[in-house]
A and B are shown apart, each in its own frame.
Chain A
Amino acid sequence: MTAPRTPAVGAPTARLEGPAKVTGTAPYAYEHPATDPLYLHPVLSTVARGRATVVHTAEAELLKGVHAVLTSANAPRLADTEDAEFAVLQSDEVAFRGQFVAAVVAETPETAREAAALVRVEYEERPHEVELDPGHQDLHTPRESDTGSPPDTRQGDVEAELARAVVLVDEVYRTPRQDNNPMEPHTTVALWETLPDRLTLYDSTQGVHTVRETMAAVFGLDPENVRVTAPHVGGGFGAKGAAKAHNVLAGLAARAVPGRTVKFALTRRHMFSLVGYRSPTVQRIRLGADAAGRLGAVVHDSTGLTSRVKEYVEQSGLCSRMMYAAPARATTHRLAALDVPIPFWMRAPGEAPGMFALETAMDELAEACGVDPVELRVRNEPGADPETGRPWSGRRLVECLREGAERFGWYERDPSPGPHRDGQWLVGTGVASAVHPRANNPGSVAEVEYGSDGRYTVSIGAVDIGTGARTALTQISAEALDCPVGRVRLRIGDSDLPGATVAGGSSGTSSWGTAVFEAVRAFRDEHGADPGPGARTRAEASHNPDLERYAMYSFGAHFAEVRVHADTGEVRVPRMLGVFSVGRVINPRTARSQLVGGMVMGLSAALHEHSVVDPRHGHVVNGDLAGYHVATNADVGGVEAHWLDETDPHLNPMGAAGVGEIGIVGMPAAIGNAARHATGLRVRELPLTPDRFLH
């Protein structure tokens, strides 16, 4: 690479699809044009456990414009229902409130909805349990998680270290159920064609290939005969990270009316039982330290819930395995299997609730030792990964803390515990660390083709869910090809393109970018620097041995200023500031937006988010955007995201880590710690609603 051109990577390139998005002409799944589409509206179970003994469909069927009413009695059998989440309408069993028990296909959305309301379901109800209550429930140890990490770990002599501790923090922290609520509800537009059977989905998903694989297996189709596209996706935050039951229902409906396109948009309320959510957690943390705050033991016991039909574990204890140095540590995860919808990924699964607990506990330790909270973290900095002993690919937490403290004006605070009054407001500041694994997932493939117009077409089945991936991958392609961005045509969002891993776990840019680099290298090997039109090469990202040699994490430091109203308990956050270590930043404009967006979702979790489940009926009482509060514009004051100038030499050819999740991690703790500094009250449970400060 010789040309002294402004490097594509590192430039604040504006989102390529920006003009289409600000005018609303960028098509999302529902908006895929179709002639004479039909509309699907589901009927959801109204009991939390039991059997749908009789489903009365006659009235619905008689309604003009209704094409089909699907129930477990007439729905075709699926080829593979090993994953119970996909066994849609395969039996009359009801495993949770809000499960599909029937569905109507009709000519208009109004008719489909009316007909669905006419379907009457008789239930045989069984006793159910939907609320996490670790003291009174059978808990089990989850099997090894999808990330391959064990549920429990233990190092050193934990009991001895705890006994020896001069200062001990032993507290329980709670986080509530939270729902992802991307602005675009989950939507699938499905078309079933015959001879041979083919299924096409226009889907709001984070991974077109994972949805294709699932649909092919569930419907017994050759993957070649399933196509999934997702040109634009209105956010996901994990909830669109895998196929869900609604994809299957849409497929079943489409199969009932072959040749007709079926549009299926979940309502906001449907989303609260069908697309995943973050499990509530109860986390006991024990920190044993010497008088100077040096940790001897870190113990993190996390309990969450899962659904009886499918196990998912929120791995809140992982952060305590690697965050701070200590000769002894133990982490455990326990689950209560309940009659609830299936929990799943929500932005920074594990780290987000886990770091609320750990970083609040660290603040309590700092206070107990009389050590500045920034300094306390610096004192417990490990030289190598405490869990594996591996060297860090780059651990720069201390620099994040120091630079953040400087930028925020941290040391201007009165270090004494609150309350600190400013008129009717109690004012304080708080800090917390952030962490997220750096990922580079294997399996992505990219293709490079040189066109007669002198442009390169780079193809990969990646998805841009709002991260800026389309723009970042174009920049990465330009850098790899050593050409201007304008000579790259990027194709993404289609399962007919080379296979790509899912947009999740802050892995997209890293994993897909690696595949693009490999494809370009192979292309140059094959066709040289001066290719002829039509030259084309495809390559898969090769194995990176450094992934097993180094501990790879991104870090960050959050600072927040909080004001709590002395009379009403209202909590305001006028200032948030984060400094992050995320490797090289591909596009400062879109990366900043992602980091800030994560911080805002952290603020939202700190102040508002809580899905309230009715123990009698098992539904979310506040299951819409009026009841489930997310941060609004007026909640957000000053917000700044900064990053260290660096590159990760081991992670991938770009030296860049994903930035989608780290912004949310730790922010609720920073806000809670600031509220403590402001009021003198320690709140160990999210969200920090006004009532918690009115005692």
Chain B
Amino acid sequence: MDTTITLHVDGEERVLTVDTRTTLLDALRDRLGSTSPKKGCDHGQCGACTVLLDERRVLSCLSLAVAHDGARVTTAAGLAARDELHPVARAVLDHDGLQCGYCTPGQVCSAVGMLAEAGAGWPSHATEDLTAAVELDDAEIRERMSGNLCRCGAYANIVAAIREVSG
């Protein structure tokens, strides 16, 4: 069954017709030609498809497009404002937190979402004191970024990049 929905992708209103089975990821990639969210597993196991829905990081392969009619989606491409890289993307580049680059847009979106979560005081498995403000040390960053796999093993540089932005 097909349905017509509207998505606001990276600041642009897009009207599209999708199969009700179409994931948000496939809607972005196949229907709208957005190359930024990547498909690494299609099962919520790798994080390559991470985008921001409003300000929250979500796995777009686990979201059905029809469930997000009217939603505001930001991909790593949309984080860049007029040719200026987003500070997180800039830091990832400066620290060489990427190799093949396939996990990278997902890492960037995830980091942006994660920084907001930490800023809002959300604890993680690595948080010692659940009532105090979150201090993003390396253990916190590693834990909070572990939903984004990087087979090239760029983790240490990704952590360094996020540390720089959060510090």
A260, chain B: closest CB distance, angstroms: 15
Known: A19-B93, A23-B79, A596-B156. A467 touches B39 (CB 8 A): no
Cross-interface CB contact of A625 among B75, B85, B149, cutoff 8 Å:
B149
In the complex, A14→B97 CA distance in Å? Answer: 11
A429 contacts partner chain B, Cβ-Cβ < 8 Å: no
The interface residues of chain A lying within 8 Å CB-to-CB of B151 are 181-183, 235, 237, 601, 630
A511, chain B: closest CB distance, angstroms: 20
Q: Does B102 contact A28, Cβ atoms closer than 8 Å? A: yes
Cross-interface CB contact of B149 among A465, A592, A630, cutoff 8 Å:
A630
Cross-interface CB contact of B89 among A22, A181, A182, A598, cutoff 8 Å:
A22
Q: Does B85 contact A633, Cβ atoms closer than 8 Å? A: no
Q: Does A235 contact B22, Cβ atoms closer than 8 Å? A: no
Q: Which of A19, A27, A590 has the most CB of B within 10 A?
A: A19
Closest chain B residue to A20 by CB distance? B101
Cross-interface CB contact of B104 among A24, A636, A639, cutoff 8 Å:
A24
The interface residues of chain B lying within 8 Å CB-to-CB of A597 are 99, 152-154
A299, chain B: closest CB distance, angstroms: 34
Q: Does A182 contact B153, Cβ atoms closer than 8 Å? A: no
A349 contacts partner chain B, Cβ-Cβ < 8 Å: no
Q: Does B100 contact A182, Cβ atoms closer than 8 Å? A: yes
The interface residues of chain A lying within 8 Å CB-to-CB of B36 are 23-25
The interface residues of chain A lying within 8 Å CB-to-CB of B100 are 182-184, 232-235, 465-466
Interface residues in B69-127 (C-beta closer than 8 Å to A) = 75-77, 79-80, 85, 89-90, 92-94, 96, 98-105, 108, 126
Q: Does B77 contact A24, Cβ atoms closer than 8 Å? A: yes
B94, chain A: closest CB distance, angstroms: 8
What string of 1s and 0s marks CB contacts (under 8 Å) between A104-136 and chain B?
000011110000000000000000000000000
B7 contacts partner chain A, Cβ-Cβ < 8 Å: no
How many of A's residues come within 8 Å of B, CB to CB?
61
Q: Does A624 contact B142, Cβ atoms closer than 8 Å? A: no
In the complex, A184→B37 CA distance in Å? Answer: 12
A224 contacts partner chain B, Cβ-Cβ < 8 Å: no
The interface residues of chain A lying within 8 Å CB-to-CB of B90 are 22
B14 contacts partner chain A, Cβ-Cβ < 8 Å: no
In the complex, A18→B152 CA distance in Å? Answer: 15
B40, chain A: closest CB distance, angstroms: 5
Q: Does B101 contact A17, Cβ atoms closer than 8 Å? A: yes
Closest chain A residue to B103 by CB distance? A183
B145, chain A: closest CB distance, angstroms: 5
A141 contacts partner chain B, Cβ-Cβ < 8 Å: no
In the complex, A45→B93 CA distance in Å? Answer: 43
A473, chain B: closest CB distance, angstroms: 16
Known: A626-B45, A634-B146. A22 touches B21 (CB 8 A): no
Cross-interface CB contact of A25 among B77, B94, B99, cutoff 8 Å:
B77
In the complex, A23→B141 CA distance in Å? Answer: 21
Q: Does A599 contact B149, Cβ atoms closer than 8 Å? A: no
Known: A593-B96, A626-B45. A466 touches B101 (CB 8 A): yes
Cross-interface CB contact of A268 among B35, B41, B143, B159, cutoff 8 Å:
B41
Q: Does A183 contact B152, Cβ atoms closer than 8 Å? A: yes
Cross-interface CB contact of A593 among B33, B42, B103, B157, cutoff 8 Å:
B157
Q: Does B153 contact A235, Cβ atoms closer than 8 Å? A: no
Closest chain B residue to A39 by CB distance? B30
Q: Which of A15, A24, A111, A235 has the most CB of B within 10 A?
A: A24
B30, chain A: closest CB distance, angstroms: 6
Main DSSP-derived SS at the B contact region: loop
Closest chain B residue to A664 by CB distance? B153
Interface residues in A606-642 (C-beta closer than 8 Å to B) = 624-626, 630-634, 636, 638-639
A627, chain B: closest CB distance, angstroms: 9
In the complex, A599→B156 CA distance in Å? Answer: 11
B13, chain A: closest CB distance, angstroms: 20
Q: Does A22 contact B99, Cβ atoms closer than 8 Å? A: no
B58 contacts partner chain A, Cβ-Cβ < 8 Å: no
B54 contacts partner chain A, Cβ-Cβ < 8 Å: no
Q: Does B146 contact A235, Cβ atoms closer than 8 Å? A: no
Cross-interface CB contact of B40 among A23, A31, A184, A593, cutoff 8 Å:
A184
Q: Does A23 contact B77, Cβ atoms closer than 8 Å? A: yes
Closest chain A residue to B90 by CB distance? A22
In the complex, A686→B99 CA distance in Å? Answer: 27
A312, chain B: closest CB distance, angstroms: 22
Q: Does B22 contact A631, Cβ atoms closer than 8 Å? A: no
B161, chain A: closest CB distance, angstroms: 10
Q: Does B146 contact A633, Cβ atoms closer than 8 Å? A: yes
Closest chain B residue to A465 by CB distance? B100
Known: A24-B38, A25-B77, A599-B153. A183 touches B43 (CB 8 A): no
Interface residues in B22-52 (C-beta closer than 8 Å to A) = 22, 26, 29-30, 33-43, 45-46, 48
Cross-interface CB contact of B96 among A25, A234, A589, cutoff 8 Å:
A589
In the complex, A695→B156 CA distance in Å? Answer: 34
The interface residues of chain A lying within 8 Å CB-to-CB of B75 are 24
Interface residues in B144-167 (C-beta closer than 8 Å to A) = 145-146, 148-159
Q: A23-B36, A23-B80, A633-B141 are in contact. List 7 more A-B contacts (CB 8 A).
A: A22-B104, A23-B85, A182-B151, A184-B38, A597-B99, A631-B153, A633-B158
> Which A positions have Cβ atoms within 8 angstroms of B?
14-15, 17-28, 30-31, 33, 108-111, 181-185, 232-235, 237, 265, 267-268, 465-468, 589-590, 592-594, 596-601, 604, 624-626, 630-634, 636, 638-639
A-B interface, 3 closest residue pairs, ranked by CB to CB distance from nearest? A466-B100, A600-B153, A234-B102
19 residue pairs bridging A and B, Cβ less than 8 Å apart: A14-B94, A15-B98, A19-B93, A21-B105, A24-B36, A24-B75, A28-B35, A109-B30, A183-B102, A183-B149, A184-B38, A184-B102, A235-B152, A468-B99, A589-B96, A590-B96, A592-B96, A599-B153, A634-B146
